[in-house]
Every structure is written in structure tokens, then in C-alpha cells.
Amino acid sequence: MMAAELSPVRKSILPQGGDSWETIAQRELPDTAQSDAVAMLQSWNLHVFMRAAGGVGRIRGDNPILPSDVIFVEPPRA
Amino acid sequence: MYDLVIRNGRVVDGSGMPAFNADVAVKDGRIARIGRVDQAGKREIDAAGKVVAPGFIDPHTHFDAQLLWDGYAKPALSHGVTTVVAGNCSLSLAPLKAEHRMKLVGMFNQIEEMPLKAFKEGVVWDWESFPEYLARIRKGLAINVGQLVGHSVLRLWVMGEAAMERTATDAEISAMQGLLRECLDAGAIGLSTSYVDMDETLKPVPSRYADADEVDALASVLSEYGRILQIVPEFYDPDLTIARLDQLAELSIKYAIPTTFSPLFVSADNVEAVNRVMARVDEQFARGARVWPQVQTRPIDISFSFAVPSLLFIRLPGWYNVMRFGTRDEIIEAFSNPESRAKLVAEASSQMALWSFLRLRHVASEANQQYVGKTLAEIGEMRGVTPLDAMIDLSIEEKLDAHFIAESMGHNQDKDVGGLLKHPRVHIGASDGGAHILSFSTYGDTGYLFGHFVRDKKLLTLEESVRKITSETAAIWGIPERGLLQQGLVADIVVFDPQAIDRGAEVYVQDVPGDGSRYIRDAIGVDTVIVAGGVAWSAAEGYTDDVRGSTLPAPIENPLERIAA
């Protein structure tokens, strides 16, 4: 079996350096208004969005996305 | 004359072949003959009516600290486990600079629920490097140990505090690769990483700040040695688990390395989700990847008292913060003060079904003995309060030493669990031995496999069960010369009664350094456990002084030859 023959699964990406909801929205959902795209991404990625950020005064305090996170770029499949 | 002869047993050799009657002779730590043995042995064991099998291999443990004060990894050895893999989930005790020791202890305490006091009173910190740690645990080692390198500690060593803040630079990744090579040359069995765990301040562990390039670079080093990568995925979500196993599959194919993820649980409410995960595993294996899911045999039981933080409360932040950061007096005060108690009750009241179902398992006071063994629903009724209030009141009265148990919380549908255990691409493991010592007993999973799934439920055969926890595990992990009863291989052997083998009742014992306690299960039906030809434990003698455990694999004697190869 080749990679291309794998069954389709929910599409996801791994963040690139410096990624935020906005940059991922721009790259992965370019045809959607940014605020809508960010809202969609957040709703598809509650495991990241609902996580407490890095903590007050910490470098990641304003961005909960970790470099190792799986970010879904589509809703769950039926 | 042989050193040891095991006579009249039924040999289940670990290959999966049907059992057969034969004697097994041992000489110089290795299996010298299997068949009719005429010569006498210096020691002879009559195994009539018993199974003679290769020693069991437990691939997912956290015995890292315990091995420093207990080279037998008690009671795992007495259950027939002759090899354990430690250092899972991104955490190992080496390589570790002195300034990071307390950070790592905090992570072990948070993630693996291991008491701070045990580290304080049971550990003499006299190593920093990985080779130094291995040399340290080799002293008095009765069980074999495959030691993983924790990704979080690699990052700590190279990046210091920045390991918990950011991605690594190219230079730092290169330094981590060099450090990993040093560990693998010294005999590390592979690398572990985690995508879910949090440290003692509830911040992500260092490995979670690594990007894909860093993991790729470390996997490329594993490739030089053909060593394994173990991960903890976001196992609570099948889409996330599939995304992780796809990530693993890419690394496995790119670098021709084995990979494994743990845990994978199946319960009544996630059968379809697990089917999806397993379908993906099958597809990735069909591509040529090796992505072994680890599945434990035992159902999920969780015990707790409020004296130590319990992961059972992780989704109730008010409760968890009190347990995690409060002293004993502060926790009692939080329960006693009407205002704070009301807040806690409000937060927990949506889960009244859970509290009702909990059972009181242990108290110290005479007055409350009458409630032991009863559910909180029953106790609440006897006291005229809600189950939740009964739990709080008993905890106050017992100064937090009231112990409760949530029994059979999941992974308890025999047909579904048995089906997974039998699956050709499922790796039986994930015991977590040595961890979560006040939440559940992580010992006896092998006895439960043979007693429950083989003998009672007949969902697996004896031969396939032995194969899965011996030769198959050895093959997956690249553990040399073990896992089979075969002439010339190392004589790691267990003799057990197939009609009796089981896990004993879960009991609370005080045998952890610092006057600490833990839950364990004693072995039932295991007769003799042999490591490298020596009887390390027997039902008649208990643990012996014949300690012959090794760290596996052996160090690479000439790393330059590996590089040349």
C-alpha cells in the first residue's frame, strides 16, 4: 500500500515556527474571512483552544499553540 | 552436570507453537538443552503440571526511581516479569544535570504520581550522565531493564529552562542528537516522548515544545541504531490518536525504525473510535510502517485519598488545585470552611453518579470501620447526607487518610478488550509498573491475562498469550537473546501453574522509602522465576540473592564500528 492509498482521515497540520491562529487561518483557509477562519479553527481544536496558555509573564502566555500540537483544519468527519 | 534442570514441564516456548512436554537444562546462564535431559542438574525443579515459558517482558513501566532502591522491581519479578522497559513517556532519570533534579522529580510526581518523599529518602543522586545512571542501577539488579531516554530530559540537559518555553535552535537539536547517541552507545533501548503530559505546575512538559523537525532529527539518530520511538498520544481523542500514529508511521518508514504508542483503551463508549484507530494501524502496517499500539490487560480501577493529588480530579480544577498545591491542613481547611466547601461541592455536583459509585476501601479510625467496603451512596444514606458530602466528611474525620476506589471505570468489556489483545498488530503492555502507586496496582497484568482472558474467558490461547508478552515484545523492542526458550539463548524462564495463575487482590502496603505506601498485587500460581539461569524468585523462597539482571541491550563496545557500519 502506498501513502496515497491510505483512507482519508480528518485533515490536520503541525504548526510552523511562530504560528498563531491567524497565520494558520491565512495559510490553511485562505478563502474564508480571517475572523471566521480563526473561529472555525478554534472550534475544531478545543484540545488547544481550551488549554490554559503558558501562564502570565511566560513567553507563550498569549499563544496556547505548542510547536508539537496537531491542528485540525477541517471539522470532524461524519 | 547442568546448573539447573527443569523437569516434566509443559514447554510453551514463546514462538506460538503448540505446547509440548520436555525438560529444560541450563548451563552458564543459557539454555543448554530442551528435550529429554538425562544428566542431573546442580539444582532441579519439578515442573509437573506446570508451564515452562520464557520470562515475560513488560514494555511500559516507570521503575526508573524504584530500581535505585529495589533491583527486583518488586513485585513485578514475582509475577514472572524478567525484563521491564523504563523511561517511558518522555521521562527518564538520565541524562540529568544536578540543577534539573528537582524539576524532574516534580514531573515524575505530577505525571506518574510518585511521592516526593520517596525521591528524597530513597534516592542518592550520584549520577548525571546516562552511562553513570545505568552503572548505578546495575548494582544489585535482579530483573533486566531496557532503559529509554526521555525526550523531556534531553531537552532539559541541552536547553535548560528554555526547554519549557520554545523550539530548539539547529545547534541545540544537533546537541540533542549527540547526547542521544551517547545514551544509545551506552545501551539505551530507544527514545520516549509525550504529547499530553504536564509538569508539576500544570504546564506542558519540555517534549511538547519540540517541533516536528526536532523529533525527525532524533528519529534519524534512532535509525543509526535501529532503535524504537515510544510516544504518548492524545489517547482520549481518536482523530488526534490517528494523526499521531500517521506521524509515527512517516518516521517509521523514513528511518526504518519501530514505533509504539500507549495507551489504547477500549470501553463501552468508544468501541467504534478504537475500531477506527485500529483500521488506521492496519493500513499503516500494510504500507510497511511499524506503529504498535500498546494495550493493557486490566480494567481501569482508580483509588485515591485527598492526601495526595489524583489524576481522577484533573477535570475539576478547583478540586485539583486544592489537592495539587495544598498542604494537608490547607486541604482540610478547604473542606471544612463552609464557603470553600460550597464551591467545591458545586463544581463536583454534576458528577454525582461517579461519587455515588465510589467505594470506601480503607480508613484508620475504629469509628469509621463500619463503612469500609460500602459505596458512598450507601454511606450517605446511613449518614443522611449526599454521597459527595459523605466523601468530604470522611476525609476530614480521617485527616485525609480515607481511601476510596472507583472500580471498573473502563477497559472492562471482555470481548472488546480480548479482541484487541489478540489482534496481530496490538502489543500487550502499558502496565505503568512503578507509577501511580497510590492510584492502582500496576502489577499482575500478566496473571490477569492468563487467568482471566486465557483460562476463564478463553478469548486467547495460552501459546499466543505467551508469544505476545515474550518473543513478540522482544522482537518489537530489539531485545537480544530473550523471549524464546531455545538452545543457546539466555535462560530467562518462568514456571507457572496454568490452572492457578492470576493476580492477587489489590492490597495497600507500606514499603516505599520515606514511610510511603502503595497498592500492589501479589502473584498467584507462579512457581519459579529465573533470570539468566539463576532463580531470582520462587514461591517457596521468595526473592533470592542470586541477582543476575542486566541492562538491555548491552553497551556498544566500539561506537566507531557502528558509525562505519
Distance from C-alpha of B137 to C-alpha of B550, rounded to nearest angstrom: 9
Mutate to test the interface with A, among B239, B250, B280, B282 (most CBs of A within 10 A): B239
HEC letters along B478-497: CCCCCCCCCCCCECCEEEEC
Same domain flag for B382 and B420: no
Span B60-85, mean pLDDT?
Answer: 97
* Pick from A39-43, B113-117, B442-446: least confident: B113-117
Q: Domain boundaries in chain A?
A: 11-72
Q: Are residues B309 and B354 both part of a single domain?
A: yes
Q: Residue B110: what pLDDT?
A: 85
Residues of chain B positioned with their CB less than 8 A from the CB of A9 = 239, 242-243, 246, 280
Segment B31-46 mean pLDDT = 98
Q: Looking at the structure, do residues B320 and B378 belong to the same domain, yes or no?
A: yes
- Euclidean distance between the first and final Cα of chain B, in Å? 41
Rounded to the nearest angstrom, the minimum Cα separation between A73 and chain B is 12
* B111 alpha carbon, distance to own chain's centre: 13
What are the tens digits of pLDDT across the range B157-207? 999 999 999 999 999 999 999 999 999 999 999 999 999 998 888 889 999
pTM of the model: 0.94
Q: Is A68 within 8 Å of B195 when comparing Cβ atoms? A: yes
Give the mean model confidence (pLDDT) for residues B91-98. 97
Question: Which pLDDT value is given to residue B309?
Answer: 85
Same domain, B366 and B329: yes
Q: B383-411 burial by CB neighbour count: b if 16+ within 10 A, else e?
A: eeebbbbbbbbbbbebebbbbbbbbebbb
Tell me the three cell numbers of residue B488: 543457546
* Residue B11 domain flag: no
Task: Write out pLDDT tens, residues B336-392.
Answer: 999 999 999 999 998 888 899 999 999 999 999 999 999 999 999 999 999 999 999
Q: Terminal CA-to-CA distance of chain A, rounded, Å?
A: 25
Helix B238-255 to helix B212-225 angle, to the nearest 10 degrees?
50
Residues B394, B253, single domain; the answer is no
> What grid cell was written down for B556?
556498544
Q: What pLDDT is attached to residue B559?
A: 67
Residue B202 within any structural domain of the chain: yes
| Residue of B210, B280, B283 with shortest CB distance to A68 | B210
Q: What is the pLDDT of residues B296-312, one digit of tens each?
A: 999 999 999 998 888 88
B283 vs A contacts (CB less than 8 Å): 1, 6-7
- What pLDDT was estimated at residue B565? 53
Provide the CATH number for the domain around residue B73.
Answer: 3.20.20.140
pLDDT score of A60 more than 60: no
Among A48-57, B109-118, B539-548, the minimum mean pLDDT is found in A48-57
Stretch B435-448: mean pLDDT: 92
* Residue B325 Cα, gap to closest chain A Cα (Å): 16
Tell me which of B406, B434, B465 is where a domain ends: B406
- The verdict on B82 and B207 lying in the same domain is yes
B370 and B468 both lie in a single domain: no
How many domains are contained in chain B? 2
> Which of A19-23, B117-121, B268-272 has the lowest average pLDDT?
B117-121
**Do B384 and B441 share a domain, yes or no?**
no
Distance from CA of B327 to the nearest CA of A (A): 23
Q: How many CA atoms lie within 13 A of B461 on its CB side?
A: 10
Query: Cell match 482521515: residue?
Result: A9
Which residues in chain B touch residue A67, judged by CB atoms under 8 angstroms apart?
166-167, 208-211
Contact call for A6 and B283, based on CB within 8 A: yes
Say if residue A56's pLDDT is above 50.
Answer: no
Based on the domain organization, do B389 and B438 belong to the same domain?
no
Is A47 within 8 Å of B211 when comparing Cβ atoms? no
Residue B225 C-alpha, separation from nearest chain A C-alpha, in angstroms: 25
Confidence at B290, pLDDT banded by 50, 70, 90: very high
Question: Can you tell me the distance from the alpha carbon of B299 to that of B444, in angstroms, rounded to the nearest whole number?
Answer: 12
pLDDT reported for residue B120 = 87
Residue whose C-alpha cell is 482519508: A8
Establish, for the pair of chains A and B, how many residue pairs have beta carbons separated by less than 8 Å. 68
* Chain A residue with the nearest C-alpha to that of B244: A70
The pLDDT, as a whole number, for residue B430 is 84
Do B75 and B520 contact (CB within 8 A), yes or no?
yes
Q: What is the mean pLDDT of chain B?
A: 95
- Chain B residues whose C-beta is within 8 A of a chain A C-beta are 165-167, 195, 201-204, 207-212, 215, 234, 237, 239-240, 242-244, 246-247, 279-280, 283-284, 286-287
Cis ω before B553 (30° cut-off from 0)? yes
Cβ–Cβ under 8 Å, residues B463 and B471: no
The answer to whether residue B38 sits within a structural domain is no
What pLDDT score was predicted for residue B560? 60
Contacts of B243 in chain A (CB under 8 A): 9-10, 12, 70, 72
Q: Find the mean pLDDT for residues B72-95.
A: 98
- The shortest CB-CB distance from A47 to any of B166, B167, B237 is to B237
Asked, for residue B231, whether it belongs to a domain, the answer is yes
Distance from CA of B239 to the nearest CA of A (A): 7
Give the structural domain span for B362. Answer: 302-406
Of the candidates B224, B192, B220, B210, the residue with the CA atom closest to the CA atom of residue B93: B192
- Sign for the pseudo-dihedral over CA of B458, B461, B466, B467: negative
Q: Tell me, yes or no, whether B183 and B196 share the same domain.
A: yes
Q: Chain B closest CA to A40's CA: distance in Å? A: 17
Choose the most confident range, by mean pLDDT, from B307-311, B429-433, B546-550: B546-550
* B237 & B262 share domain: yes
pLDDT score, position B416: 97
Q: With respect to residue B265, please indicate whether it lies within any of the assigned structural domains.
A: yes
Least CB-CB distance to A1: which of B203, B212, B283?
A: B283
- B504 within domain boundaries: no
Per the CB < 8 Å rule, is B280 touching A7? yes
What are the grid coordinates assigned to B482, written together? 530473550
Contact B203 A54 (CB under 8 A): yes
In a domain, B20, yes or no: no
Q: Are residues B132 and B248 in the same domain?
A: yes
Residue A57 pLDDT exceeds 60 = no
Condensed to tens digits (0 to 9), the pLDDT of residues B478-532 reads 999 999 999 999 999 999 999 999 999 999 899 999 888 899 999 999 999 999 9
**Measured between CA atoms, how close is B421 to chain A, in angstroms?**
24
